[in-house]
Amino acid sequence: MDLSDLFAINGRVSGTKTMIKQVNGQTVKKLVIGKFCWWAFFFTAIYAAVSKKYRTKGFVAKMFVILLILVLINFGLSYLFDGTDWLWNLLEGVYFGLMFNTWYYDQLIKNGYQEVHNHQPVEFE
């Protein structure tokens, strides 16, 4: 993980992505939905730890590292701007909700998954 993963707000996943990987002769299929993740908004990295949907190698550790970085930024901003803790907590939750599925998608790619492109044939008249 590098900092570009953390701050790549313009590179968010859009739409539904299907990811596949061959494991012991079996095809493992994962879906990544490019929407706001309300569960991640409310529970941040804890959601990655308890959810079966997001189980993939290294993802939980990555979420806790990102959470630690965001909490440290939150502490610094709260110290600089007294009385604005609620604002930074809200922004942290919104950011986590926006980026959660993108971070999951990036982790799947690092774990060897490949995106399946299911393009419908284009008909010309």
The residues, any chain, with a CB within 8 Å of residue 42's CB and separated by 6 or more, are 93
> What CA–CA distance (Å, rounded) separates 22 from 24?
7
Q: How confident is the model at residue 6 (pLDDT cuts 50, 70, 90)?
A: confident
**How do residues 19-63 score in pLDDT, each as one tens digit?**
999 989 898 899 899 899 999 999 988 998 999 888 889 989 888
Task: Give the sheet arrangement for strand 26-34, strand by strand.
Answer: 26-34, 15-23, 114-116
Query: pTM of the predicted model, to two decimals?
Result: 0.83
Radius of gyration of the chain (CA): 17
**How do residues 62-83 score in pLDDT, each as one tens digit?**
889 988 988 998 899 989 998 8
Tokens, residue 88? 């930074």
| Residue 94: per-residue pLDDT | 93
| Residue 55: per-residue pLDDT | 87
pLDDT, averaged across the chain: 86
The answer to whether the CB of 25 falls within 8 A of the CB of 119 is no
Tokens, residue 58? 């290294």
| Residue 119: per-residue pLDDT | 55
**How do residues 91-104 score in pLDDT, each as one tens digit?**
989 999 999 999 99
